[in-house]
Amino acid sequence: MAQSLDQAGADALVLFNRFYQPDFDLENLEVVPDLVLSTQEELRLRLRWAAILYGRVQADLAVTGGVHTAEDVLKCMMAGAGVAMMTSALLERGIHHLRGVLGDLTRWMESREYASIAQMRGSMSQRAVAQPAAFERANYMKVLRSYVPADLP
């Protein structure tokens, strides 16, 4: 689908927009708004698809959902995104949160001698990593076998 949208001329793809989902008030029998903000746990699906699509489509990739910290932004860029959207983090913490994210991002990049976001963009994409199969469904059984449960009571 991404390739079809790309070939049709899409300039960018958003991975993955969260849709507004109202709830039902059973006492008053009404449909009510219910905004549920994203959590960092949602980021992995977006990272996987950005990393798979990077270099396979010309459209820019934007990640939305689960981006809360500078580390999350870095992961998005390294997967191949050109944009990391942080709406939930800003709603929760306020616009001043961006100052801290930018500072953390700058410190991380300087400590690892990155001159720009462009330099790191796509560096962890499926096409760039040593084990590209890590992004594929076939890797599922390997991941399950690697699980070490915590001590059970």
Q: Does a structural domain hold residue 138? A: yes
Question: Cα separations (Å) of 87 from 51, 67, 91, 107, 125?
Answer: 22, 8, 6, 23, 24
Residue 134 belongs to domain spanning: 2-146
Q: Does a structural domain hold residue 151? A: no
Q: Does a structural domain hold residue 152? A: no
Q: Does a structural domain hold residue 64? A: yes
Which segment, 11-25, 33-47, 62-76, 129-143, is predicted with the most confidence on average?
Answer: 62-76
The residue among 30 and 153 whose pLDDT is bigger is 30
Rounded to whole angstroms, the Cα distance separating 70 from 67 reads: 8
The model's pTM is 0.81
Segment 61-72 mean pLDDT: 96
For residue 131, what is the domain's CATH number? 3.20.20.70
Long-range contact pairs involving 19-24 (C-beta distance under 8 Å, separation at least 24): none
The residue among 135 and 79 whose pLDDT is bigger is 79
Per the CB < 8 A criterion, the answer to whether 47 and 75 are in contact is yes
Per the CB < 8 A criterion, the answer to whether 55 and 125 are in contact is yes
State residue 153's pLDDT score: 60
Residue 110 has pLDDT above 90, yes or no: yes
Q: Does a structural domain hold residue 91? A: yes
pLDDT confidence band for 145 (50 / 70 / 90):
low
Please state the domain count of the chain: 1
At 81-109, the pLDDT tens digits run 999 999 999 999 999 999 999 999 999 99
State residue 17's pLDDT score: 78
State residue 140's pLDDT score: 59
Q: Does a structural domain hold residue 125? A: yes
pLDDT confidence band for 133 (50 / 70 / 90):
confident
pLDDT confidence band for 137 (50 / 70 / 90):
low
Segment 112-132 mean pLDDT: 90
The residue among 21 and 119 whose pLDDT is bigger is 119
